[in-house]
Amino acid sequence: MNKGYFYFMVFVTVFFLSLLMSLGAYGLTKSGLPKELSSESGKCIGCHSSTTPAIYQQWGKSRHYRANVGCYECHQAKKGAKGGFEHYGFFISVIVSPLDCSRCHPEETAEFESSHHAKAAHILGSMDNILADVVEGDNGMKTPAYPEGTSAAGVNGCSQCHGSVVKIDPDGKLDPATWPNSGIGRINPDGSEGSCTACHQRHEFSVAQARRPAACGRCHQGPDHPQYEIFSLSQHGIAYRANRDKMNFASSKWIAGEDYSAAPTCATCHMSATKDMAVTHNVGLRIEWNNRPPVSVLANLTDRQWNLPSAAITGDMREKNMRDVCYACHNVNFVDNFYIQYRAELTLYNDKFGKPGLKLYRAATEVLKATEGSEYAQFANKIDYTWFQLWHHEGRRARHAASMMGPDYTQWHGNYLLARDFYTEYVPEIREVIKNGKKSGNPKAEKLAAELDTMLTEVLNSPDHRWSIGKESPAAKAERMRRIEEFKRRYEHK
């Protein structure tokens, strides 16, 4: 166990012991669970078993039911709490937040709150959110909390995965622009961040359900981060679909190599226990690289930007954590070679497309600002979309797919489209920006355009790109032609 896990365990152990001591007055068994269902929850059930029978049945199948944890234990709220209201003599809250869950699950909550999942709603103000609010949307959705309007695109899209900032209307109701919402980083009225029900769907809160890939696929899929699709079409996903009945999902410990060995799931690799490592609700502690930005960076450096304590878990430590999972099924040589392949793909993307592409885009943006003046707006020019498509969709797909051993997504959904659009869309658009800047009559725009022209020439004359302007190394060209002729001979009809 590495130092990061050790410190987490010390913290949560102290927290949990304090919690148990505080619960002493509530008639708990030696296991820390209530001896019987509370009278408050009994009264809730008296109505909800008929008014919301599906919820009642779900709860009846849950571990909460078997532990005598009922409606009131989760939904109770302090008098005057934001989002709370009087309900047949009880003061309750519709939203059950991580703060509520922490009363019984302090370790899991502490780990989750230290993760990127808990910060997902901080997307507000990002490029993605601006797209939803302005480019895709308008202010047509008017609610009590948003009398001037908000974007239905953001409400129904971004916020449902990333989480909304839940707002309370003047009459005490949850505002419809922010609720219902089970986004993983939802900002709750009690100030806590996150939604446990994003993964553990209410009211059964099934561990088995959360361990299945579909639990993650609700958000981790689509053109910009198709992890669910990549997994499904990888060797891991094929093995999973063929062996779902052998996965022992309901096991209390669920250790790879002990409780199951037929296939992994998302939870196996990113969260679940191994023989030497405890389960964690901080899904980033086994991810060495953050492949979301235009250029990949070590994940712990991103955590440092978010002021997360997990910033102390370095890239090497995270790789070691993930290797511990891999070794449950694979030998050392297999895992070593996988990491060599994976890092080579990251280096290729970063050096050939990510770094030069970002440099060119920033310089081109300055030319556009100088040329268009007050009329400039981001995403009003085609080049904004082309660059966004390159790194946010195609570049991400190549990197994510390589990390999950998904060859077709790495190649045809990633590297191929990335190269095609870089040379046939992006470079011509950069040249168009240069041309318009030089003839704009604006001295600043002309100067910036000349600098961008020099920059583009340097990029295209670099070893990675000079082939595209007819300057490929003669030796490299000769070797490529040799392989082409060999290929033709191999498939000649005789």
Give yes or no: residues 419 and 456 share one domain. Answer: yes
In a domain, 211, yes or no: no
Give yes or no: residues 9 and 113 share one domain. Answer: yes
- In this structure, are residues 254 and 273 in contact, taking their beta carbons and an 8 Å threshold? yes
Task: Identify the pLDDT of residue 128.
Answer: 83
Q: Is the dihedral of CA 315, 316, 319, 321 positive or negative?
A: negative
Give yes or no: residues 51 and 187 share one domain. Answer: yes
Task: Identify the pLDDT of residue 125.
Answer: 73
Q: Which range among 128-137, 182-191, 484-493 shows the weakest confidence by mean pLDDT?
A: 484-493
Give per-residue pLDDT as tens, 453-466: 999 999 999 999 99
pLDDT confidence tier of residue 4, bands split at 50, 70 and 90: low
Last residue of a domain, one of 330, 351, 379: 330
Give per-residue pLDDT as tens, 37-54: 999 999 999 999 999 999
- Cα 286 to Cα 300: distance, rounded to the nearest angstrom: 10
Last residue of a domain, one of 264, 297, 330: 330
Task: Identify the pLDDT of residue 126.
Answer: 82
Give yes or no: residues 226 and 181 share one domain. Answer: no
pLDDT confidence tier of residue 393, bands split at 50, 70 and 90: very high
In a domain, 280, yes or no: yes
Give yes or no: residues 254 and 368 share one domain. Answer: no
Task: Identify the pLDDT of residue 493.
Answer: 64
Give per-residue pLDDT as tens, 278-331: 999 999 999 999 999 999 999 999 999 989 999 999 999 999 999 999 999 999
Residue-number span of the structural domain to which 180 is assigned: 3-125+147-198
In a domain, 213, yes or no: no
Helices and strands (DSSP H and E) totals, the chain? 26, 6
Mean pLDDT, residues 142-161 taken together: 96
Count of other CB atoms within 10 angstroms of residue 109: 24
- Cα 485 to Cα 104: distance, rounded to the nearest angstrom: 68
In a domain, 208, yes or no: no
Token pair for 190: 């009690």
Return the residue matching tokens 């302005």. 134
- For the domain that residue 230 is a member of, what is the CATH number? 1.20.850.10
In terms of DSSP bridges, do strands 146-150 and 141-143 run parallel, antiparallel, or are they unpaired? antiparallel
Task: Identify the pLDDT of residue 31.
Answer: 61
Return the residue matching tokens 């806590």. 192
Mean pLDDT, residues 210-231 taken together: 97
Give yes or no: residues 44 and 157 share one domain. Answer: yes
pLDDT confidence tier of residue 414, bands split at 50, 70 and 90: very high
Q: Is the pLDDT of residue 170 over 90?
A: no
Residue with the bigger pLDDT between 27 and 346: it is 346
- Cα 260 to Cα 305: distance, rounded to the nearest angstrom: 37
Count of other CB atoms within 10 angstroms of residue 444: 14
Task: Name residues whose C-beta falls within 8 Å of residue 2's C-beta, 6 or more positions apart in sequence.
Answer: 313, 317, 320, 321
Give yes or no: residues 74 and 106 share one domain. Answer: yes
Q: Is the pLDDT of residue 3 over 70?
A: no
Mean pLDDT, residues 458-477 taken together: 95
User: Residues for the chain: how many in total?
Assistant: 494
Give yes or no: residues 174 and 38 share one domain. Answer: yes
Q: Is the pLDDT of residue 10 over 50?
A: no
Share of the chain above pLDDT 70, in %: 93
Question: Angle CA(230)–CA(232)–CA(238) in degrees, nearest 5?
Answer: 125
In a domain, 484, yes or no: no
Task: Identify the pLDDT of residue 34.
Answer: 87
Task: Identify the pLDDT of residue 110.
Answer: 96
Task: Identify the pLDDT of residue 44.
Answer: 96
Task: Identify the pLDDT of residue 24.
Answer: 36
- Cα 153 to Cα 166: distance, rounded to the nearest angstrom: 17
Mean pLDDT, residues 71-92 taken together: 94
Q: Which range among 4-8, 78-82, 457-461 shows the weakest confidence by mean pLDDT?
A: 4-8
Task: Identify the pLDDT of residue 2.
Answer: 56
Mean pLDDT, residues 322-344 taken together: 97
Mean pLDDT, residues 162-189 taken together: 95
**What is the count of structural domains for the chain?**
3
Give yes or no: residues 354 and 452 share one domain. Answer: yes
Question: pTM of the full predicted structure?
Answer: 0.89
Q: Is the pLDDT of residue 478 over 60?
A: yes
In a domain, 210, yes or no: no
- In this structure, are residues 40 and 90 in contact, taking their beta carbons and an 8 Å threshold? yes
Count of other CB atoms within 10 angstroms of residue 162: 24
Q: Is the pLDDT of residue 21 over 60?
A: no
In a domain, 479, yes or no: no
User: Please, what is the average pLDDT of the chain?
Assistant: 92
- In this structure, are residues 79 and 222 in contact, taking their beta carbons and an 8 Å threshold? no
Q: Is the pLDDT of residue 14 over 70?
A: no
Helix axes 315-326, 332-349, angle to 10 degrees: 140
pLDDT confidence tier of residue 171, bands split at 50, 70 and 90: confident
Q: Is the pLDDT of residue 417 over 60?
A: yes
Q: Is the pLDDT of residue 71 over 80?
A: yes
Task: Identify the pLDDT of residue 372.
Answer: 97
Task: Identify the pLDDT of residue 258.
Answer: 94
Give yes or no: residues 288 and 383 share one domain. Answer: no
Last residue of a domain, one of 330, 362, 384: 330
Give per-residue pLDDT as tens, 344-379: 999 999 999 999 999 999 999 999 999 999 999 999
Token pair for 205: 């809160």
- Cα 407 to Cα 252: distance, rounded to the nearest angstrom: 34
Mean pLDDT, residues 380-384 taken together: 97
**In a 3-state reduction of DSSP, which class is residue 165?**
strand
Give yes or no: residues 260 and 387 share one domain. Answer: no
Closest C-alpha to 102, from 118, 87, 126: 118
448-470 b/e (C-beta count within 10 Å ≥ 16 → b): bbeebbebbeebbeeeebeeeee
Residue with the bigger pLDDT between 231 and 487: it is 231
Q: Give residue 353's identity as a one-letter amino acid code.
A: F
Give yes or no: residues 391 and 320 share one domain. Answer: no
First to last CA, the chain: 62
Closest C-alpha to 267, from 200, 330, 222: 200
Token pair for 214: 């579909």
DSSP 58-124: HHHTSHHHHTT--HHHHHB--TT-TTEEEETTEEEES---HHHHTTT-HHHHHHHHTSSGGGGGGGT
Residue with the bigger pLDDT between 26 and 465: it is 465
- Cα 411 to Cα 437: distance, rounded to the nearest angstrom: 36
In a domain, 465, yes or no: no
